[in-house]
Amino acid sequence: MKIDGNAIRPGNVIEHQGRLWRAVKIQHVKPGKGGAFLQVELKDIRAGTKLNERFRASESVERVRLDQKDNQYLYSDGDGHTFMDQETFDQVTLQTEMIGEDQVAFLQEGMIVSIESFEGSPIGVALPDKVTLAVTEADAVVKGQTASSSYKPAVLENGVKVMVPPHIEAGTRVIVSTADATYVERAKD
pLDDT of residue 177 exceeding 80: yes
Q: What is the mean pLDDT of residues 63-72?
A: 89
pLDDT of residue 145 exceeding 60: no
List, as one string, the DSSP characters of 123-150: EEEE--SEEEEEEEEEPPPPTTGGGS--
CATH code, 88: 2.40.50.140
User: Any idea what the Cα angle at residue 114 is, between residues 44 and 172, rounded to 5°?
Assistant: 105
At residue 147, the pLDDT reads 55
At residue 135, the pLDDT reads 92
Chain mean pLDDT for the chain: 87
At residue 57, the pLDDT reads 84
At residue 120, the pLDDT reads 83
Higher pLDDT, 147 or 118: 118
138 in the same domain as 96: no
Q: What is the mean pLDDT of residues 143-165?
A: 81
Separation CA 19–CA 123 (nearest Å): 13
Range of the domain at 153: 130-186
75 in the same domain as 111: yes
User: Could you report the per-residue pLDDT of 72-120, keeping only the tens digit for each?
Assistant: 999 999 889 999 998 999 999 988 878 878 888 899 899 999 998 888 8
Higher pLDDT, 146 or 123: 123
Please state the pTM of the whole predicted model: 0.71
144 in the same domain as 179: yes
Contacts of 154 (CB under 8 A, 6+ apart): 135, 137, 138, 139, 161, 162, 163, 164, 168, 170
85 in the same domain as 54: no
User: Could you report the per-residue pLDDT of 1-53, keeping only the tens digit for each?
Assistant: 888 888 888 878 899 988 888 888 889 989 888 888 999 999 888 777 899 99
At residue 133, the pLDDT reads 92
**How many structural domains comprise the chain?**
3
* Residue length of the chain: 189
Q: Which of 47, 63, 79 is the last residue of a domain?
A: 63
Q: What is the mean pLDDT of residues 165-178?
A: 90
pLDDT of residue 143 exceeding 70: no
Contacts of 39 (CB under 8 A, 6+ apart): 26, 27, 28, 29, 52, 53, 54
Separation CA 46–CA 87 (nearest Å): 27
97 in the same domain as 122: yes
CATH code, 32: 2.30.30.30
CB 166 within 8 A of CB 186: no
CB 111 within 8 A of CB 125: no
pLDDT of residue 144 exceeding 70: no
CB 62 within 8 A of CB 50: no
Q: Which of 63, 79, 102 is the last residue of a domain?
A: 63
148 in the same domain as 135: yes
